[in-house]
């Protein structure tokens, strides 16, 4: 009897230990977004009531992203897929089809006044999230998609979206006020690629870029000449680089025309978590602050210090490589002479 009781107790304890060490499967609905910006929007509305993952990692370029087998599995397991559409993530349709997912796919730009693409017929500029006003449309579309997915938590999604919408409405007004502080003749935004048309149309600022709306195009000589003429004719003091695009061309244009780099702008990706641009709202605030200060003629000390440090490191690395080659050549010559 005692032996049987001991056996039952041992079995019970081992079962409890197994339950403690084996993680419980997360039963929350799974939401997959194409890019980090939309994942952040969804997180602000859903809080912790759903699992949210972005396919393109922070710092990645959604225009030229190439899906991986793990992305196929991620979409296959999703309950809801949120996409921007408007030719932003052209690879997404094929990924969804290949995954065999049963998830509902929602285009979160529905209801936005699209800007027609200047490059491709029957296409639109995809960068609609670049204004806080359009961001409010994204929020409403995501809210409605979450409610349809998980109606039990409807009140949570409606409340969180309401707070978020109020925040974006206030930010939208604040951006207008900041743009007004730029001298009228200097309200010209020159960037790496054409991601700021919605921003320019809404907030009243001229936008020019080296590349078109997609980053997979080649920069032409006439594009460089066009930007050079704009800089000279407007007297704009600064031009800007973007975090997901090689800054080499913009830096060369700035050097050739005697203007400075106003700083990094975020267009297709958020910044790293726990940084000022690590959220959608933070990204907009960072961009506006960077643009306004630079176009008023204020140099970006932080950007210049970071790039001076990077330049120094590159110089030291190059000198190290040259020194290593010289030492290797010297030792080789000594070895050859000793053999002789």
Task: State the DSSP string of 20-87.
Answer: HHSPPPP-S-EEEESSHHHHHHHHHHHTTSSEEEESSPTT--TTT----HHHHHHHHT-SEEEE--TT
Q: Give CA–CA dist 60/305, Å, rounded.
A: 24
- Give the model confidence (pLDDT) of 46-75 as tens digits: 999 999 999 999 999 998 899 999 999 999
- Give the model confidence (pLDDT) of 282-319 as tens digits: 999 999 999 999 999 999 887 877 765 444 444 455 55
pLDDT attached to residue 194: 86
Smallest CA-to-CA distance from 176 within 199, 147, 142 is with 199
Smallest CA-to-CA distance from 267 within 307, 220, 207, 186 is with 207
pLDDT attached to residue 336: 66
Beta bridge partners of 40: none
Q: Give CA–CA dist 304/338, Å, rounded.
A: 51
Domains in the chain, ordered, with CATH? 30-177 (3.40.50.1980), 183-302 (3.40.50.1980)
Q: Is the pLDDT of residue 324 over 90?
A: no
Smallest CA-to-CA distance from 291 within 237, 231, 212 is with 237
pLDDT attached to residue 2: 39
| Least-confidence region, from 117-126, 207-216, 254-263 | 207-216
Question: DSSP string spanning 229-282?
Answer: HHHHHH---EEEEETTS--HHHHHHHHHHT-EEEEEE-SSS---TTSTTSSHHH
* Sequence-ordered list of residues with C-beta below 8 angstroms from that of 291, at least 6 positions apart, any chain: 189, 205, 240, 262, 265
Q: What is the mean pLDDT of the chain?
A: 86
Share of the chain above pLDDT 70, in %: 81
pLDDT attached to residue 335: 73
Band (pLDDT 50/70/90 cuts) for residue 320 is low
| Least-confidence region, from 1-10, 82-91, 256-265, 283-292 | 1-10
pLDDT attached to residue 183: 95
Beta bridge partners of 30: 51
CB 178 within 8 A of CB 171: no
- Give the model confidence (pLDDT) of 161-189 as tens digits: 999 999 999 999 999 999 999 999 999 99
């Amino acid at each position: 009897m005692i032996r049987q009781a001991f056996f039952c107790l041992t079995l019970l304890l081992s079962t409890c230990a197994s339950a403690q060490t084996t993680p419980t499967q997360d039963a929350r609905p799974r939401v997959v977004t194409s890019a980090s910006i939309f994942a952040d929007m969804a997180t602000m509305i859903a809080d912790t009531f759903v699992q949210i993952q972005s396919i393109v990692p922070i710092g990645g370029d959604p225009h030229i992203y190439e899906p991986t087998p793990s992305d196929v599995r991620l979409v296959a397991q999703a309950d809801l897929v949120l996409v921007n559409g408007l030719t932003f993530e052209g690879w997404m349709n094929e990924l969804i089809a290949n995954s065999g997912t049963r998830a509902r796919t929602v285009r979160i730009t529905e209801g936005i006044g699209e800007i027609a693409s200047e490059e491709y017929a029957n296409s639109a500029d995809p960068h609609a999230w670049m204004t806080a006003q359009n961001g409010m449309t994204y929020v409403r579309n995501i809210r409605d998609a979450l409610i349809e997915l998980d109606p039990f938590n409807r009140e949570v999604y409606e409340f969180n979206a309401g707070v978020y919408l109020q925040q974006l409405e206030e930010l939208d007004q604040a951006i207008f006020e900041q743009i007004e502080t730029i001298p009228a003749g200097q309200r010209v935004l020159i960037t790496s690629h054409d991601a700021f048309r919605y921003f320019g149309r809404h907030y009243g600022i001229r936008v020019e870029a080296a590349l078109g709306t997609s980053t997979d195009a080649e920069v032409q000589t006439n594009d460089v000449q066009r930007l050079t003429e704009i800089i000279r004719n407007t007297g704009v003091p600064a031009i800007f680089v973007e975090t997901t695009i090689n800054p080499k061309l913009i830096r060369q244009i700035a050097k050739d025309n005697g203007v400075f780099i106003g700083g990094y702008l975020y267009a297709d990706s958020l910044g790293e978590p726990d940084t000022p641009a690590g959220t959608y709202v933070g990204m907009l605030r960072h961009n506006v602050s960077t643009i306004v200060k630079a176009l008023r003629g204020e140099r970006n000390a932080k950007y210049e210090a970071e790039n001076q440090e990077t330049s120094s490191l590159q110089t030291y690395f190059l000198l190290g490589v040259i020194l290593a080659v010289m030492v290797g050549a010297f030792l080789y010559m000594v070895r050859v002479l000793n053999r002789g």
